[in-house]
Amino acid sequence: MERSLFLARLMGPAFVAVALGMLLNLGLYETIIKEGLHAGILLYLSGFLSLLAGLALVNLHNTWQMDWRLVITVLGWLMTIGGTMRIVLPQVAITVGSVIYGDRASVIVAALATGALGTFLSFKGYLHRS
């Protein structure tokens, strides 16, 4: 449980900060996303960092219990898979990313989902009662 709390305290505020940044600087984030969806060093680096972070989460927290901690495990696996896809199949990753982030509304939805996830993890991490 302590490892879950630590990870929730680490990831929650980071996700909230990313979500706020996206919502407050929507035009800039749209540009960042468009630039990131081109085959090149940025796509590779984002894939490599996602793969590393995902593998760290999976190795530290591969907990498949049906409670809030499952969110951390699933995020670890999604990061591992997403990072691998960007490295091994970059054209597929670009196509999927272009569909997901095709317009402003999808960026807003992604920001809101990230913010909700970050708020949930922060709440669980910092306000947890044994």
pLDDT band at 87 (very low <50, low <70, confident <90, very high): very high
pTM: 0.88
How many structural domains does the chain have? 1
DSSP 78-114: HHHHHHHHHHH-HHHHHHHHHHHTSSHHHHHHHHHHH
Instruction: Give the separation between CA 92 and CA 104, rounded to whole angstroms.
Output: 21
Which residues, including other chains, have CB under 8 Å from residue 61's CB and lie 6 or more apart? 3, 4, 7, 69, 72, 73, 76
Q: Which domain holds residue 14?
A: 2-126
Q: How many CB atoms lie within 10 A of CB 93?
A: 22
pLDDT band at 57 (very low <50, low <70, confident <90, very high): very high
